């Protein structure tokens, strides 16, 4: 449904030009906003009309309640048995009737005017028929109650969107009127049944009225209290008014009246009846002052609601106009914006590289002409970029091949340069070695001559050394023989020491035997004891000396053995050195001969090397020039490779850029 409507709307707008669409959209939005504003104003005017009607009804209700209070007061007087034909407040009632009639006629409340005419006729009859005043007073009150109810219904007084206002209105316009009427009925019933109030039937009827009175008075108080709590305006307004104080006074008078009636029911005395009448007059006066204050607060509340609705009407009208304009401009201009959105989408696709992006043309307006031009431009770009794509691919492939060749050329040139550098280094090293060798040959020749001289001197020194070696070998042999004989003598001394030790042991044994003999003989053997002691002392001294000698011989024997071994080794070394000296002497003879021969050949080599050194310098110079040329060639090859590589990179980037375009194949 929505899609078909949208398609139909698009088809309808396709007939117009772009400027025609804009004008149509503006005209439609303005008309729609005006229509909605008028509808909103009509609905708001209905609320304002109701509030105005409530304000008129409030004025009428206030006048009617004042008249109702006067009728109830008249009824109280009649219940007391007083005549009111010449009472002063009859003129007040006549004035109230005239004022109410004027008000009803001014506000053109014809239905209430007819009902009030009935009330006026009854009032006129009550003034003429004094005997029926009580009955006619009842009819007046009933008629007035009916007029009040009709006024509430026609003026929608108890109908309000705010719950607080509804409670407040109901408390004053319904419950308070019923409370006043119940007070009148209780007083009238008490007066009629007096002094038979002790009768249960009469008492029960009055108690029923009392219960209703309590309930209505509680509803009045609860309604006013809850209304003040629920409505912030009432709460603020009541704070600066005597309403709460008058409500408290009203409740106190109600409680006092109920106590008076209950006391009258229990006592049924005339003075209690008078107290009841007085309490009724007080509570009616309190209810009238409370009603006046309540009407004043209701009038303020209705005025505030009236002003609020007027403000809301202005704000809502402006909001509806603006909202309608915005909504209609949004939804209706979609027909205008859709072709532009499609053109923008196609342009974005083309910017992303989608060369197949096209705009569907469904009308003949300016946007359609622009879309046609865009499609032609996109077609031209696609054809051109196809050719550029082919060229780019060829350039990229060719640049890759050139890059490969340049890379191979660069590698070859670098290798050649490295080889030339190595040759240059080798040539420099050879040239340097040749120059050094040229400088070294005279030194070598001189060294050979010196070597020959030194070798000759060395040979002569070796001959003298050989003679000394022979002499040292002979001396070492003599030392060996001497040490060997010393070793033999040391051995013999050791044998002698052993013999002395044995002799010392035997002397000790002999001294021991002599001691034993002297001990057996006693005094006769004292000489033997002295000899034995001397022998033992000599034996001990000999043993100590022998041991000392033995220790010295034992210390000497290893040293002699070691000296013999070392001298033998020295003799062998001297003999070996003598043999080597003889061999070296022979070698030096051969070296001297060869050195004399090489000196001549060094002279010839010096001349050849000199000529080779000159050639090496020329070769080194040529190789250095070749190395410089090779370095220049390498630099040129590397530059060529870099340029070709950048060319290849540019071709690759161009190829990648071409890949971003979505080109359809033919």
pLDDT tens digits, residue range 567-625? 677 667 767 776 776 777 677 677 667 766 666 665 666 666 667 666 667 766 776 77
What pLDDT is stored for residue 548 in this prediction? 75
Mean pLDDT, residues 316-336: 67
Mean pLDDT, residues 548-570: 71
Q: Which residues contact 338 (CB under 8 A, 6 or more apart)?
A: 10
**CATH placement of domain 424-659:** 1.10.287.950
Q: Which of 10-19, 52-61, 269-278, 566-575 is predicted least confidently?
A: 10-19
Asked whether the predicted pLDDT for residue 666 surpasses 60, the reply is no
Mean pLDDT, residues 524-537: 69
**Choice between 15 and 399, residue whose per-residue pLDDT is larger:** 399
What pLDDT is stored for residue 235 in this prediction? 83
Burial environment of residue 225 by CB neighbours within 10 A (0 to 12, 13 to 18, 19 or more): middle
Question: Within 13 Å, how many C-alpha atoms sit on residue 451's CB side?
Answer: 18
Top mean pLDDT of 94-108, 482-496, 561-575 is at 94-108
**3-state DSSP assignment of residue 662:** strand
What pLDDT is stored for residue 591 in this prediction? 67
Asked whether the predicted pLDDT for residue 39 surpasses 70, the reply is yes
pLDDT band at 524 (very low <50, low <70, confident <90, very high): low
- Mean pLDDT, all residues of the chain: 73
Asked whether the predicted pLDDT for residue 89 surpasses 70, the reply is no
How distant is the alpha carbon of residue 186 from its chain centre? Answer: 80
Mean pLDDT, residues 350-356: 67
For residue 443, what are the CA distances in angstroms to 432, 448, 520, 603?
A: 17, 8, 108, 11
Instruction: Supply φ then ψ for residue 662, to 5 degrees.
Output: -85, 95
pLDDT band at 450 (very low <50, low <70, confident <90, very high): low
For residue 648, what are the CA distances in angstroms to 279, 359, 404, 409, 565?
A: 119, 38, 10, 16, 94
Asked whether the predicted pLDDT for residue 428 surpasses 60, the reply is yes
What pLDDT is stored for residue 19 in this prediction? 62
What pLDDT is stored for residue 218 in this prediction? 92
Q: Which of 168-182, 297-311, 433-447, 532-546 is predicted least confidently?
A: 433-447
What pLDDT is stored for residue 10 in this prediction? 60
Q: How many Å is the Cα radius of gyration of the chain? A: 78
**Choice between 330 and 39, residue whose per-residue pLDDT is larger:** 39
Asked whether the predicted pLDDT for residue 505 surpasses 90, the reply is no
What pLDDT is stored for residue 400 in this prediction? 74
What pLDDT is stored for residue 86 in this prediction? 52
Q: Which of 309-323, 542-556, 591-605 is predicted least confidently?
A: 591-605
Largest Cα–Cα distance in the chain? 214
What pLDDT is stored for residue 355 in this prediction? 65
For residue 371, what are the CA distances in angstroms to 231, 281, 342, 633?
A: 63, 93, 9, 60
What pLDDT is stored for residue 485 in this prediction? 75
How distant is the alpha carbon of residue 372 from its chain centre? Answer: 49
In this structure, what token pair is assigned to residue 565? 């071994």
Top mean pLDDT of 161-165, 238-242, 393-397 is at 238-242
**Choice between 335 and 408, residue whose per-residue pLDDT is larger:** 408
- In tens, the pLDDT along 459-473 reads 666 667 667 667 766
225-230: list long-range contacts, CB under 8 Å, 24+ apart: 226/164, 226/167, 227/164, 227/165, 227/166, 227/167, 227/168, 227/171, 228/164, 228/168, 229/164, 230/162, 230/163, 230/164, 230/167
Burial environment of residue 378 by CB neighbours within 10 A (0 to 12, 13 to 18, 19 or more): buried
Q: Which of 99-103, 215-219, 651-655 is predicted least confidently?
A: 651-655
For residue 35, what are the CA distances in angstroms to 41, 320, 382?
A: 10, 10, 52
What pLDDT is stored for residue 252 in this prediction? 93
Mean pLDDT, residues 205-224: 89
- In tens, the pLDDT along 276-298 reads 888 888 998 898 898 888 888 88
Overall pTM surpassing 0.85 (yes/no) = no
- In tens, the pLDDT along 122-168 reads 777 776 766 676 777 778 788 888 888 887 787 777 777 778 888 88
- CA 41/CA 312 separation, integer angstroms: 10
pLDDT over 90 percentage in the chain: 2
What pLDDT is stored for residue 541 in this prediction? 76
Asked whether the predicted pLDDT for residue 13 surpasses 60, the reply is no
Residue 427 and residue 620 in contact, taking contact as beta carbons nearer than 8 Å: yes
- CA 611/CA 285 separation, integer angstroms: 160
What pLDDT is stored for residue 148 in this prediction? 82
Q: Which of 112-116, 171-175, 573-577 is predicted least confidently?
A: 573-577
- CA 133/CA 140 separation, integer angstroms: 10
For residue 550, what are the CA distances in angstroms to 494, 504, 538, 562?
A: 7, 14, 18, 19
- CA 387/CA 152 separation, integer angstroms: 92
Domain residue spans of the chain: 2-332, 424-659
Residues of the chain by 3-state class (helix, strand, coil), percent to 5: 90, 0, 10
- CA 449/CA 318 separation, integer angstroms: 133
What pLDDT is stored for residue 222 in this prediction? 92
Residue 188 and residue 88 in contact, taking contact as beta carbons nearer than 8 Å: no
Q: Which of 238-247, 257-266, 613-622 is predicted least confidently?
A: 613-622
What pLDDT is stored for residue 626 in this prediction? 66
Specify whether the backbone of 17 is left (phi greater than 0), alpha (psi in -120 to 50) or beta: beta
Place of tokens 């034909």: 85
């Amino acid at each position: 449904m929505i899609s078909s409507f949208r398609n139909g709307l698009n088809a309808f707008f396709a007939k117009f030009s772009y400027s025609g669409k804009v004008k149509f959209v503006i005209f439609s939005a303005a008309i729609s906003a005006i229509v909605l504003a008028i509808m909103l104003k009509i609905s708001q005017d209905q609320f304002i009309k109701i509030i105005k009607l409530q304000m008129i009804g409030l004025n009428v209700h206030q006048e009617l309640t004042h008249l109702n209070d006067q009728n109830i007061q008249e009824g109280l007087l009649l219940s007391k048995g007083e005549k009111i034909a010449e009472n002063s407040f009859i003129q007040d009632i006549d004035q109230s009737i005239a004022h109410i009639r004027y008000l009803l006629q001014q506000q053109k409340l014809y239905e209430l005017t007819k009902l009030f005419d009935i009330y006026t006729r009854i009032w006129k009859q009550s003034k003429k028929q004094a005997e029926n005043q009580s009955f006619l007073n009842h009819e007046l009150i009933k008629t007035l109650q009916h007029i009040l109810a009709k006024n509430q219904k026609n003026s929608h007084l108890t109908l309000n969107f705010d719950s607080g206002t509804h409670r407040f209105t109901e408390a004053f316009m319904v419950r308070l009127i019923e409370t006043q009427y119940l007070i009148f009925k209780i007083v009238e019933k008490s007066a009629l049944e007096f002094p038979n109030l002790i009768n249960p039937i009469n008492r029960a009827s009055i108690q029923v009225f009392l219960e209703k009175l309590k309930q209505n008075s509680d509803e009045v108080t609860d309604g006013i209290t809850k209304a003040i709590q629920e409505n912030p305006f009432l709460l603020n307004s009541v704070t600066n008014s005597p309403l709460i104080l008058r409500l408290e006074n009203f409740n106190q008078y109600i409680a006092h009246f109920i106590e008076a009636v209950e006391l009258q029911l229990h006592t049924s005395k005339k003075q209690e009846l008078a107290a009841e009448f007085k309490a009724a007059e007080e509570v009616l006066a309190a209810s009238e002052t409370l009603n006046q204050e309540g009407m004043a607060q209701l009038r303020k509340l209705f005025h505030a609601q009236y002003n609020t609705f007027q403000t809301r009407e202005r704000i809502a009208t402006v909001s509806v106009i603006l909202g309608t304009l915005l909504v209609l401009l949004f939804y209706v201009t979609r027909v205008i914006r859709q072709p532009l959105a499609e053109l923008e989408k196609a342009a974005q696709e083309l910017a992303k590289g989608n060369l197949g992006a096209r705009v569907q043309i469904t009308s003949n307006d300016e946007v359609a002409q622009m879309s046609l031009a865009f499609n032609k431009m996109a077609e031209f770009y696609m054809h051109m970029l196809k050719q550029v794509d082919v060229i780019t691919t060829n350039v990229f492939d060719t640049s890759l091949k050139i890059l490969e060749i340049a890379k191979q050329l660069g590698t070859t040139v670098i290798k050649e340069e490295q080889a030339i550098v190595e040759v240059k280094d080798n040539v420099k090293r050879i040239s340097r070695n040749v120059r050094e060798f040229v400088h070294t040959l005279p030194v070598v020749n001189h060294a050979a001559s010196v070597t020959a001289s030194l070798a000759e001197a060395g040979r002569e020194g070796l001959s003298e050394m050989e003679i000394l070696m022979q002499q040292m070998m002979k001396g070492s042999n003599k030392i060996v023989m001497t040490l060997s004989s010393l070793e033999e003598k040391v051995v013999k001394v050791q044998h002698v020491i052993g013999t002395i030790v044995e002799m010392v042991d035997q002397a000790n044994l002999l001294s021991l035997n002599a001691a034993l003999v002297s001990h057996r003989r006693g005094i006769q053997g004292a000489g033997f004891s002295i000899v034995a002691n001397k022998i033992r002392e000599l034996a001990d001294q000999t043993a100590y000396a022998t041991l000392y000698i033995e220790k010295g011989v034992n210390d000497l024997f290893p040293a002699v053995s070691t000296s013999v071994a070392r001298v033998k080794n020295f003799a062998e070394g001297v003999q070996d050195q003598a043999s080597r000296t003889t061999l070296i002497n022979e070698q030096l003879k051969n070296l001297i001969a060869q050195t004399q021969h090489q000196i001549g050949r060094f002279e010839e080599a010096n001349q050849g090397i000199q000529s080779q050194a000159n050639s090496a310098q020329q070769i080194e110079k040529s190789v250095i020039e070749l190395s410089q040329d090779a370095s220049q060639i390498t630099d040129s090859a590397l530059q060529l490779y870099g340029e070709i590589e950048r060319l290849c990179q540019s071709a690759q980037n161009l190829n990648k850029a071409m890949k971003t375009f979505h080109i359809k194949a033919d």
